[in-house]
C-alpha cells in the first residue's frame, strides 16, 4: 500500500494540517516499535568457563539430592550409604548425569525449535522513504512522505510442506536420542561387567595363588626326600610367579574398570569412593530375548531404523516443498493516496505482483531434493540391513556362548566331585597330599573357565540387547525418563 502525503506549511491551516500528518507518522512509527519490542525475545547471557565446568563436574555425587529425587520420580529408591547399587539404579544415575544424553536432548530441542521456524508465516513489510521536492509556487509543502505496505501470500501449500519436513526431522532427532539412551545403557552395562570380571578374576586367582604355594611347599619337601627333581620344583615356582603377575594384572583391570564405570555414569572417580555395587543382574540369562517376534519387532522398531525412516519422510516433504516452489508467491499491496496540494483528492489502488517463472522452474533444487530422497532411501535400507545382520549375529553368538557356559558348568561340577573323592582318598591314606592339592588346583582352574564362559555369555547378551533394543530390557517408562520428559522432576545439569 502506497500513501503519499504532502505536508502543508504555508498557511496556518496548512501548517496545522502538515503538523497533524507529521504527528500521525510519528505515532505510526511509535506503534510499530512498541509491537516490535513486545513480540521480540531478549538475549540473556549464560556464562560457561572451563574452570566452573570442572568444579561442577567434580561436585557430582551418587548421594546428590537431585539424583535421589530423580530416582524417586521414576519409582526407584536410592540406595542408602553403604548399600549396593544395582544395574537398574546405576542406569538411572547415568541418565541423570551423562553428558552424551544432555547433548542429544539439546539436538532434539533444536529440531523441535525448527518446527516453529517452519510454521512461521512471512511478515508484511512497511517502508518509509521521506523525500523533498523543489518548492513550487503555491505549493503547500515541498516534503513528500510515502508509505508502502506489502503483504506476501505463500501459495501451493509451501508452509505445510515445511512443517511436515520439520516434524519428521524432529521425530528423527527423538529417535536419535533414544539411540543414545541405548548407547549410554550399553556402555554402563559393559563397564559394570568389566568391573565384575576383574574383581571376580582377582578373587579366583588369589585362591589359586594359595593353592600353588602349597604345591610348591609339598614339592620342596619331596625334593628334600629325593622323590622329585629340582626341575619340577622350578616349574612350580615359575607357575606361581606367573599366577601372581596375573593376579596383579586383574587388580589393575579392576581399578581401570572403576574409572571406566565413573565415565559411563558421567561422574568423577571420587564419586564412587566407598560405593558398593550389586552384580546380581549380571548373573541372569533371560530367554525372552530369543523369541522370534522380538527379532521382528527390532527390525521395525529399533531407534536407528525409525530415525532413518523419519529422515526419508522428511526428504519426501522437502521434495514436495521444492516442487511447490515452482509456483511463485503473491504480493498484495492495497494502497491509499492523499495529495495535500489538491484538496479533496483521494485515491486508492490494489497492487498485485508476482515473479514470472520464465527463465527457470526451480529445476536445480528439485533435482537436488530428488537425489536427497534417493540417498535417504538407500540409507534406510543400509540401516535396516545392518540391523538384521547385527541381530542375527548377536543371537547366534548368544546361543553359542550359552552352550559353552553349560559345558563349563558341567565340567566344574565334575571337578568338584573329583575333589571330594580325592580328599576322601587322602584321608584314607590311599594317595599323597599332593594329589589333593592338584585336584583343588584343577577345581579352581575350572572355576576360572566357568567365569570366562559366564563373562562371554554376558557380553554376548549385551550385544544382543543392543541389537534388539527390546522393552524387555529397558521399559518405555525408563526410556522416557532418559529423555527428560518426567512431569515430576526436571533433569538438572
pLDDT one-digit tens code per residue, 322-333: 999 999 888 887
Contact 175, 40 (CB under 8 A): no
Average pLDDT on 450-472 reads: 92
pLDDT one-digit tens code per residue, 110-121: 999 999 989 999
Model pTM?
A: 0.82
Q: How many whole angstroms separate alpha carbon 487 and alpha carbon 481?
A: 9
Contact 340, 6 (CB under 8 A): yes
What residue ranges define each of the domains in the chain, with the CATH number in brackets?
Answer: 1-36+127-153+333-355 (no CATH), 51-120+154-326+361-472 (1.20.1600.10)
Share the mean pLDDT of the chain.
84
Secondary structure (3-state) at 150: strand
Q: How many whole angstroms separate alpha carbon 339 and alpha carbon 346?
A: 7
CA distances from 133 to 19, 141, 143 (A): 18, 9, 6
Average pLDDT on 398-418 reads: 94
pLDDT of residue 142: 63
The interaxial angle of helices 303-324 and 158-224, nearest 10 deg, is 160
pLDDT one-digit tens code per residue, 79-92: 988 899 999 999 99
Give the residue among 123, 124, 121 at the shortest CA–CA distance from 163. Answer: 121
Name the pLDDT band for 410 (thresholds 50, 70, 90).
Answer: very high
Residue identified by cell 589359586 is: 208
Secondary structure (3-state) at 410: helix
CA distances from 98 to 193, 246, 266, 476 (A): 19, 33, 4, 19
Q: How many whole angstroms separate alpha carbon 169 and alpha carbon 315?
A: 9
- The one-character DSSP state at 130 is -
Q: Grid coordinates in use for 382? A: 543400509
Among 123-132, 187-196, 457-466, the least confident range: 123-132
The answer for residues whose C-beta is within 8 angstroms of residue 198's C-beta and 6 or more apart is: 250, 251, 253, 254, 256, 257
Say if residue 1's pLDDT is above 60: no
Return the higher-pLDDT residue of 403 and 141.
Answer: 403
Return the higher-pLDDT residue of 262 and 17.
Answer: 262
Burial of 220 (C-beta count, 10 Å sphere; 0-12/13-18/19+): middle
Give the residue among 224, 243, 227 at the shortest CA–CA distance from 235. Answer: 243
Q: Grid coordinates in use for 363? A: 529445476
pLDDT of residue 35: 54
pLDDT of residue 334: 72
Return the higher-pLDDT residue of 41 and 91.
Answer: 91
Strands (E) across 72-188 are located at 125-128, 131-132, 143-144, 147-153
Contact 195, 362 (CB under 8 A): no
SS3 content of the chain, % helix, strand, coil (to 5): 65, 10, 25
| Cα angle: 77, vertex 82, 83; to 5 degrees | 40
pLDDT of residue 17: 40
Q: Grid coordinates in use for 5? A: 502525503
Average pLDDT on 477-483 reads: 85
Q: How many whole angstroms separate alpha carbon 262 and alpha carbon 285?
A: 25
Q: How many whole angstroms separate alpha carbon 350 and alpha carbon 271?
A: 72
Give the residue among 479, 463, 462 at the shortest CA–CA distance from 471. Answer: 479
CA 283, chain centre distance (Å) = 28
Query: What kind and span of H or E run contains 344?
Result: none
Say if residue 34's pLDDT is above 60: no
Q: Grid coordinates in use for 210? A: 594359595
- Compute φ and ψ for 194, nearest 5 degrees: -65, -40
pLDDT of residue 150: 85
Query: What kind and span of H or E run contains 338?
Result: strand 330-338
Say if residue 107's pLDDT is above 50: yes
Residue identified by cell 557430582 is: 60
Average pLDDT on 475-483 reads: 85
- The secondary structure of 221-281, three-state, reads HHHHCCCCCHHHHHHHHHHHHHHHHHHHHHHHHHHHHHHHHHHHHCCCHHHHCCCCECCHH
- The one-character DSSP state at 362 is S
Say if residue 22's pLDDT is above 60: no
Amino acid at each position: 500500500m502506497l500513501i503519499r502525503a504532502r505536508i502543508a506549511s504555508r498557511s496556518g491551516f496548512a501548517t496545522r494540517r502538515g503538523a497533524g500528518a507529521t504527528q500521525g507518522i510519528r505515532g505510526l512509527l511509535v506503534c510499530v516499535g512498541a509491537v516490535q519490542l513486545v513480540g521480540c525475545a531478549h538475549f540473556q547471557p549464560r556464562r560457561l568457563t572451563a574452570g566452573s565446568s570442572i568444579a561442577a563436574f567434580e561436585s557430582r555425587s551418587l548421594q546428590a539430592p537431585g539424583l535421589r529425587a530423580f530416582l524417586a520420580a521414576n519409582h526407584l529408591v536410592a540406595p542408602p550409604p553403604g548399600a549396593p547399587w544395582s544395574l537398574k539404579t546405576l542406569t538411572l544415575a547415568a541418565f541423570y548425569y551423562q553428558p552424551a544424553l544432555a547433548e542429544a536432548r539439546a539436538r532434539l530441542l533444536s529440531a523441535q525449535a525448527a518446527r516453529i521456524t517452519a510454521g512461521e508465516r512471512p511478515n508484511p513489510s512497511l517502508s518509509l522513504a521521506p523525500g523533498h521536492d523543489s518548492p513550487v509556487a503555491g505549493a503547500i509543502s515541498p516534503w513528500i512522505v510515502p508509505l508502502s505496505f506489502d503483504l506476501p501470500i505463500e501459495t501451493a501449500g509451501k508452509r505445510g510442506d515445511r512443517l511436515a519436513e520439520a516434524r519428521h526431522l524432529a521425530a528423527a532427532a527423538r529417535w536419535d536420542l533414544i539411540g543414545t539412551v541405548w548407547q549410554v545403557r550399553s556402555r554402563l552395562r559393559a563397564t559394570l561387567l568389566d568391573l565384575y570380571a576383574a574383581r571376580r578374576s582377582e578373587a579366583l586367582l588369589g585362591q589359586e595363588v594359595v593353592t600353588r604355594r602349597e604345591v610348591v611347599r609339598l614339592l620342596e619337601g619331596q625334593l628334600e626326600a629325593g622323590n622329585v627333581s629340582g626341575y619340577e620344583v622350578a616349574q612350580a615356582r615359575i607357575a606361581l610367579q606367573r599366577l601372581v603377575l596375573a593376579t596383579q594384572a586383574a587388580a589393575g583391570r579392576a581399578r581401570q574398570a572403576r574409572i571406566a564405570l565413573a565415565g559411563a555414569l558421567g561422574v568423577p572417580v571420587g564419586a564412587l569412593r566407598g560405593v558398593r555395587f550389586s552384580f546380581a543382574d549380571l548373573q541372569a540369562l533371560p530367554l525372552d530375548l530369543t523369541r522370534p517376534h522380538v527379532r521382528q519387532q527390532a527390525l521395525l522398531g529399533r531407534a536407528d531404523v525409525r530415525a532413518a525412516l523419519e529422515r526419508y519422510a522428511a526428504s519426501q516433504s522437502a521434495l514436495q516443498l521444492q516442487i511447490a516452489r515452482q509456483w511463485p508467491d503473491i504480493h498484495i499491496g492495497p494502497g491509499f493516496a492523499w495529495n495535500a496540494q489538491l484538496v479533496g483528492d483521494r485515491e486508492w489502488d490494489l497492487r498485485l505482483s508476482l515473479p514470472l517463472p520464465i527463465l527457470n522452474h526451480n529445476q536445480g533444487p528439485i533435482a537436488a531434493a530428488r537425489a536427497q530422497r534417493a540417498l535417504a532411501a538407500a540409507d534406510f535400507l543400509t540401516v535396516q540391513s545392518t540391523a538384521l545382520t547385527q541381530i542375527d549375529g548377536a543371537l547366534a553368538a548368544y546361543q553359542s556362548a550359552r552352550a559353552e557356559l553349560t559345558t563349563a558348568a558341567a565340567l566344574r561340577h565334575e571337578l568338584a566331585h573329583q575333589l571330594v573323592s580325592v580328599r576322601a582318598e587322602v584321608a584314607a591314606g590311599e594317595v599323597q597330599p599332593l594329589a589333593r592339592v592338584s585336584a583343588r588346583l584343577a577345581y579352581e582352574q575350572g572355576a576360572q573357565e566357568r567365569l570366562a564362559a559366564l563373562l562371554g555369555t554376558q557380553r554376548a547378551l549385551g550385544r544382543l540387547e543392543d541389537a534388539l533394543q527390546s522393552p524387555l530390557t529397558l521399559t518405555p517408562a525408563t526410556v522416557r525418563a532418559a529423555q527428560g520428559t518426567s512431569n515430576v522432576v526436571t533433569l538438572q545439569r
